[in-house]
């Protein structure tokens, strides 16, 4: 389907939600929902998306939606999916009439890398047929920008501040995709709202996969990363162009994970000179300001560049 | 926020804390100071502004041109920044 | 309706629950093993493996996920069951409140076990008592027969249109869970007819009227953000639903009695009509206490007992009626409430009498923590001290510890 055709699809996330101006989660959630193909139930972990879209008595969700807690989106989804399956088998119960129901779970990086990792791992291991969408804005934004397992090294957050001694978060970002891929599920993909067609196509593949699928969305956050709200899409694009967040998908084929680079990243793989330096990405965000002011920390910028390069090389080893 | 006295009492609210209003009834159009102005003469109907709008406040009309719903636009400026032909300008609300 | 023919099976408490749930055939059972609840999960998995149920059995990775999975399943309009004990229930704690507040009539068996630390696998009520304010109905069983019967009635109680709350079936770890008893079981079709189909309250959602469940054709939002302008209004109906559960528990218990010959209520008194001294308590200990009452009666002591089956909702009014004439009442608490005046049951019972002109002497007996046996001799000791309180006209000690080495 072309963008023009997809643009005609009604939005399932209604306007009037209270996410920040320029919120990357809002764009991503809208695009994810553009891929909905039939009867769908959504569950969401606690986080910005959940809070800002359902302030009682209002809701922005035009599909059946439930939030229960922070760490259990995957377990909630397991229950919804299993209930549907049981009703289908019995031929009775309120959902038995549906041929199929897609179940989508949204969670942030806190709800995925950290507190929700166990429930996610359990649901993936059990093979529930659902799509888990990780909205990764790289910190606990809903509680006011605290570091998570998804926060990158050197980023300043309110619990990993850039101080006189310590320059922001000390740990590297947890390799969540590799952890998920290690569960040998049918479909894993990275997406960015900056590439809408790619995102919608992958989300559709995830819905079509039989069994668990995982979509890792890179979600710039103007408030938490400290950049002007109109740059959300540009920054997401830069993350792909620097190979900090390459776009790829991974299918399990005959028991082996098969990685495929998506076109924006594939073109860099073929033309390495197009890979942009990480500095361009870092300098645009207040959370990395201390790498440039009051004095330039070339040592740290170099360290980050080397990390990006290494991760990119490791991906190329798998994907080419 | 709904005034505490005018809002429904506990007996009147839907069972199980089910929201009874669509967020469409909650206008966020007064959040920002800027708003997008589209130069339709240059617009190529590419639809990107529709896809990039965090609010879903840009709808594609029947004739293929975008239309901004100012009741919801928070003035983030993504549409103007991302428009490939730069036909969207952010102007002060007035 | 007449009492139906029933099959006598040798089942321990856990097996009795598993057997009842097999007959109920819920859509989803999600559980995690923990002693002494494990037998329920094991037996139920066997029913699944043998194709005796149509249930989706989900061997989750934690108790937190067990209840979260049940919440998802019930929100989707299914019937869901889980079971746990002690630390497992403690790990579920967050979700117990959420299940109740989302008004999902999940049924959960709690095989009562002491909470850590130190770790202990044996019976006391510290686990379920910790969840007493979570918004779950709590029914405490005296024996395996009752565990079976309650595992059937619980669906009717929780799903009652006036109630719509989750139900906790509490049975004493090991004492009931691992002890073989003769259990009369109803035919499958009788159970299924008794529980019927789940019905749903109608709600006015943002897209129009809908049933209170997740349905793609009639979408509603469940579990929104609720601030100080509405949260309070959403708690009040939970209070009301609990009150409404009182007559419902009685109604369902009576109706169940008509088909099974075993009638259940909120309270189960024994030789209380003319009793001068009595004990009040929960669960299996009350079976032992019944023998002690008989023994004392044979010696001319006017002893009686009141077994509290429904602790949540707490039948304060009924307790008042049942015990007003008794001169000295000893409350048996298999749980310590650290820093409180006494155990949880004691505080409730004593409080129920505050406005009453007729007030028995009421004292507390904390016993059996970590599975310490409550023998007949210990219970006789309790009655003996009650008799002393009665003569003194006041509790000689407000809280006593029974079976504790000093």
Question: What string of H, E and C letters represents the secondary structure of chain C?
Answer: CCCCCCEEEEECHHHHHHHHHHHHCCCEEEECCCCCCHHHHHHHHHHHHCCCCCCEEEECCCHHHHHHHHHHHHHCCCCEEEEECHHHHHHHHHHHHHHHHCCCCCEEEEEECCCCCCCCCCCCCHHHHHCCCCCCEEEECCCHHHHHHHHHHHHHHHCCCCCCCCEEEEEECCCCCCCCEEEEECCHHHHHHHHCCCCCCEEEECCEEEECCCCCCCCCEECCECCCCCHHHHHHHHHHHHHHHHHHHHHHHHHHHHHHCCCCCCEEEECCCCCCEEEEECCCHHHHHHHHHHHHHHCCCCEEEEEECEEECCCHHHHHHHHCCCCEEEEEECCCCCCCCCCHHHHHHHHHCCCCCCCCEEEEEEECHHHCCCCHHHHHHHHHHHHHHHHHCCCCCCEEEECCCC
Count Cβ–Cβ pairs < 8 Å, chain B vs chain C.
Answer: 65
Q: pLDDT at residue C253 above 60?
A: yes
Q: What is C267-402's CATH number, 3.10.180.10, 3.30.460.10, 3.40.50.920, 3.30.559.10?
A: 3.40.50.920
Q: Which CATH number fits the domain that encloses residue A62?
A: 3.40.50.970
Contact C212 B18 (CB under 8 A): yes
* Residue whose C-alpha is closest to residue A25's, from A206, A223, A252, A170: A223
Task: Look at the alpha carbons of A68, A72, A76, A77 in this order and tell me if their dihedral is positive or negative.
Answer: positive
Q: Is residue B72 part of a domain?
A: yes
* Residue whose C-alpha is closest to residue C87's, from C57, C66, C107: C66
Superfamily for the C7-200+239-260 domain = Thiamin diphosphate (ThDP)-binding fold, Pyr/PP domains (3.40.50.970)
* Residue whose C-alpha is closest to residue C112's, from C387, C349, C344, C395: C344
Distance between CA atoms of residues C331 and C345, nearest Å: 7
Degrees to nearest 5, angle at CA A146 with A143 and A148: 115
Does any CB of chain B come closer than 8 Å to the CB of residue C184?
no
Contact A68 C102 (CB under 8 A): yes
Residues of B with Cβ-Cβ distance to A3 under 8 angstroms: 46-48, 51
Peptide bond into C36 cis (omega under 30): yes
Q: How distant is the Cα of A1 from the closest Cα of chain B, in angstroms? A: 13
Give me the residue from B11, B13, B21 closest to C206, CB to CB.
B21
Residues of C with Cβ-Cβ distance to A38 under 8 angstroms: 216
Q: Is residue B21 part of a domain?
A: no
The structural domains of chain C, with segments of one domain joined by +, span 7-200+239-260, 267-402
User: Which tens digits make up the pLDDT trace of C330-370?
Assistant: 999 999 999 999 999 999 999 999 999 989 999 999 999 99
Give me the residue from C102, C224, C229 closest to B19, CB to CB.
C224
Q: Is residue B4 part of a domain?
A: no
Residues of A with Cβ-Cβ distance to C74 under 8 angstroms: 79, 83
pLDDT at C1: 63
pLDDT at B1: 47
When divided into structural domains, chain B yields a total of 1
Distance between CA atoms of residues B12 and C234, nearest Å: 10
Contact B24 A15 (CB under 8 A): yes
User: Which tens digits make up the pLDDT trace of B22-70?
Assistant: 999 999 999 999 999 999 999 999 999 999 999 999 999 999 999 999 9
Tell me which chain B residue has its CA closest to the CA of residue A5.
B47
* Residue whose C-alpha is closest to residue A84's, from C326, C77, C237, C388: C77
Q: Is residue B61 part of a domain?
A: yes
Does any CB of chain A come closer than 8 Å to the CB of residue B80?
yes
User: Which tens digits make up the pLDDT trace of C20-36?
Assistant: 999 999 999 999 999 99
Contact A59 C224 (CB under 8 A): yes
Distance between CA atoms of residues C270 and C308, nearest Å: 11
Contact A87 C27 (CB under 8 A): yes
Which residues of A make CB contacts under 8 Å with B? 3-4, 6-8, 11, 13-24, 26-27, 30-31, 34, 53-54, 56-60, 62, 193, 196, 222, 228-234
Q: Which CATH number fits the domain that encloses residue B71?
A: 3.30.70.20
SS3 call for A254: coil
pTM of full prediction above 0.90 = yes
User: Which tens digits make up the pLDDT trace of C152-207?
Assistant: 999 999 999 999 999 999 999 999 999 999 999 999 999 999 999 999 999 999 99
Distance between CA atoms of residues C257 and A174, nearest Å: 58
Tell me which chain B residue has its CA closest to the CA of residue C208.
B20
ipTM of the complex: 0.97
Does any CB of chain B come closer than 8 Å to the CB of residue C225?
no
Contact C61 A71 (CB under 8 A): no
When divided into structural domains, chain A yields a total of 1
Q: pLDDT at residue C103 above 70?
A: yes
Q: Is residue B35 part of a domain?
A: yes
pLDDT digits (tens), chain A, 320 positions: 788 888 988 899 999 999 999 999 999 999 999 999 999 999 999 999 999 999 999 999 999 999 999 999 999 999 999 999 999 999 999 999 999 999 999 999 999 999 999 999 999 999 999 999 999 999 999 999 999 999 999 999 999 999 999 999 999 999 999 999 999 999 999 999 999 999 999 999 999 999 999 999 999 999 999 999 999 999 999 999 999 999 999 999 999 999 999 999 999 999 999 999 999 999 999 999 999 999 999 999 999 999 999 999 999 999 97
Count Cβ–Cβ pairs < 8 Å, chain A vs chain C.
Answer: 178
Distance between CA atoms of residues C169 and A118, nearest Å: 28
Q: How distant is the Cα of B92 from the closest Cα of chain A, in angstroms? A: 15
Q: pLDDT at residue C107 above 90?
A: yes
Q: Which chains touch A (3 or more CB pairs under 8 A)?
A: B, C
Q: What is the DSSP string of A77-119?
A: HHHHHHHHHHHHHHT-STTTT-S--EEEEEEESIIIIITTHHH
Neighbours of C271 (CB within 10 A): 16
Annotate C224-262 with b (16+ C-beta within 10 A) or e (fewer).
bbbeeebeebbeebbeebbebbbebbbebbebbbebbee
Instruction: Tell me which residue range forms the domain holding A249.
Output: 3-319
pLDDT band of B4, cuts 50, 70, 90: low
Does any CB of chain B come closer than 8 Å to the CB of residue C227?
yes
- pLDDT (mean) for C277-294: 98
Distance between CA atoms of residues A111 and A107, nearest Å: 5
Residues of C with Cβ-Cβ distance to A68 under 8 angstroms: 68, 71-72, 95, 98, 102, 223
Instruction: Tell me which residue range forms the domain holding B46.
Output: 26-92
Residues of C with Cβ-Cβ distance to B16 under 8 angstroms: 102-103, 164, 201, 203, 212, 222
Tell me which chain C residue has its CA closest to the CA of residue A118.
C61
């Amino acid at each position: 389907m072309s963008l023009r055709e997809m643009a005609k699809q009604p939005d399932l996330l209604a306007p009037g939600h209270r996410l920040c101006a320029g919120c990357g989660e809002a764009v991503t959630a809208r695009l994810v929902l553009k891929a909905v193909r039939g009867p769908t139930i959504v569950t969401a972990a606690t986080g910005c998306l959940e809070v800002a879209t359902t302030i009682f008595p209002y809701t922005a969700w035009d599909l059946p939606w439930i939030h229960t807690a922070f760490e259990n989106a995957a377990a909630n989804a397991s229950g919804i999916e299993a209930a549907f399956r049981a009703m289908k088998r019995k031929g009775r119960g309120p959902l038995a009439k549906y041929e199929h129901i897609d179940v989508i779970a949204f969670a942030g990086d806190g709800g995925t890398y950290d507190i929700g990792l166990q429930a996610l791992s359990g649901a993936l291991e059990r093979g529930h047929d659902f799509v888990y969408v990780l909205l990764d804005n790289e910190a606990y934004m809903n509680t006011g920008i605290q570091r998570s397992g998804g926060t990158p090294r050197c980023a300043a957050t309110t619990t990993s501040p850039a101080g006189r001694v310590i320059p922001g978060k000390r740990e590297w970002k947890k390799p969540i995709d590799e952890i998920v891929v290690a569960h040998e599920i049918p479909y894993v993909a990275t997406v960015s709202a900056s590439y809408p067609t790619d995102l919608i196509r992958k989300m559709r593949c995830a819905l079509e996969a039989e069994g668990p699928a995982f979509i890792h969305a890179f979600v710039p956050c103007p408030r938490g990363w400290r950049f002007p709200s109109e740059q959300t899409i540009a920054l997401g694009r830069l993350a792909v162009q620097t190979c900090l967040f390459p776009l790829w998908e991974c299918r399990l084929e005959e028991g082996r994970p098969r990685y495929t680079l998506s076109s924006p990243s594939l073109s860099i793989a073929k033309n390495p000179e197009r890979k942009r330096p990480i500095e361009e990405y870092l300098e645009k965000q207040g959370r990395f300001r201390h790498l440039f002011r009051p004095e330039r920390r070339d040592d740290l910028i170099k360290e980050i560049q080397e990390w990006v390069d290494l991760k990119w090389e490791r991906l190329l080893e798998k994907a080419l | 926020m709904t005034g505490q006295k005018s809002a429904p009492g506990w007996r009147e609210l839907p069972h199980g804390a089910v929201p009874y209003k669509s967020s469409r009834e909650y206008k966020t159009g007064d959040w920002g100071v800027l708003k997008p102005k589209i130069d339709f003469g240059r617009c190529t109907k590419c639809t990107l502004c529709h896809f990039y709008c965090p609010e879903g406040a840009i709808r594609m009309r029947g004739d293929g041109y975008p239309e901004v719903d100012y009741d919801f636009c928070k003035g983030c400026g993504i549409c103007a920044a991302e428009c490939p032909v730069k036909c969207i300008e952010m102007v002060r609300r007035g | 309706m007449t009492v139906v023919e029933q099959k006598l099976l040798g089942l321990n408490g856990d097996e009795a629950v598993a057997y009842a749930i097999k007959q109920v055939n819920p859509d989803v059972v999600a559980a995690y093993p923990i002693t002494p609840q494990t037998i329920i999960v094991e037996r139920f998995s066997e029913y699944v493996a043998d194709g005796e149920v149509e249930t989706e059995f989900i061997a989750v990775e934690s108790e937190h996920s067990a209840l979260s999975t049940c919440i998802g399943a019930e929100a989707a309009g299914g019937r869901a069951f889980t079971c746990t004990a002690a630390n497992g229930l403690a790990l579920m704690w967050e979700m117990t409140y959420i299940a109740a507040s989302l008004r999902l009539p999940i049924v959960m068996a709690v095989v009562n076990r002491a909470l850590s630390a130190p770790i202990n696998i044996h019976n006391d009520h510290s686990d379920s008592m910790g969840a007493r304010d979570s918004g779950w109905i709590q029914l405490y069983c005296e024996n395996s027969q009752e565990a079976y019967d309650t595992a059937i009635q619980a669906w009717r109680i929780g799903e009652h249109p006036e109630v719509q709350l989750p139900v906790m079936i509490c049975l004493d770890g090991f004492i009931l869970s691992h002890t073989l008893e003769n259990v009369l079981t109803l035919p499958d079709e009788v159970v299924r007819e008794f529980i019927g189909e789940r019905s749903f309250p109608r709600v006015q959602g943002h897209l129009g009227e809908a049933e209170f469940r997740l349905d793609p054709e009639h979408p509603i939002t469940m579990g929104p953000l609720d601030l100080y302008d509405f949260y309070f209004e959403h708690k009040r109906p939970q209070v009301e639903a609990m009150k409404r559960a009182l007559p419902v528990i009685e109604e369902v218990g009576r109706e169940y009695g008509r088909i099974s010959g075993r009638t259940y209520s909120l309270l189960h008194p024994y030789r209380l009509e003319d009793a001068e001294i009595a004990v009040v308590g929960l669960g299996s200990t009350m079976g032992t206490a019944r023998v002690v009452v008989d023994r004392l009666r044979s010696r001319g002591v006017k002893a009686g007992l009141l077994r509290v089956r429904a602790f949540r909702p707490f039948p304060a009014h009924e307790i008042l009626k049942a015990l007003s004439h008794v001169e000295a009442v000893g409350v048996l608490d298999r749980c310590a409430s650290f820093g409180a005046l006494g155990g949880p049951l004691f505080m409730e019972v004593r409080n129920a009498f505050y406005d009453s002109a007729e007030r028995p002497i009421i004292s507390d007996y904390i016993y059996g923590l970590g599975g310490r046996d409550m023998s007949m001799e210990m219970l006789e000791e309790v009655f003996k001290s009650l008799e002393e309180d009665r003569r003194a006209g006041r509790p000689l000690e407000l809280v006593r510890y029974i079976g504790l080495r000093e």
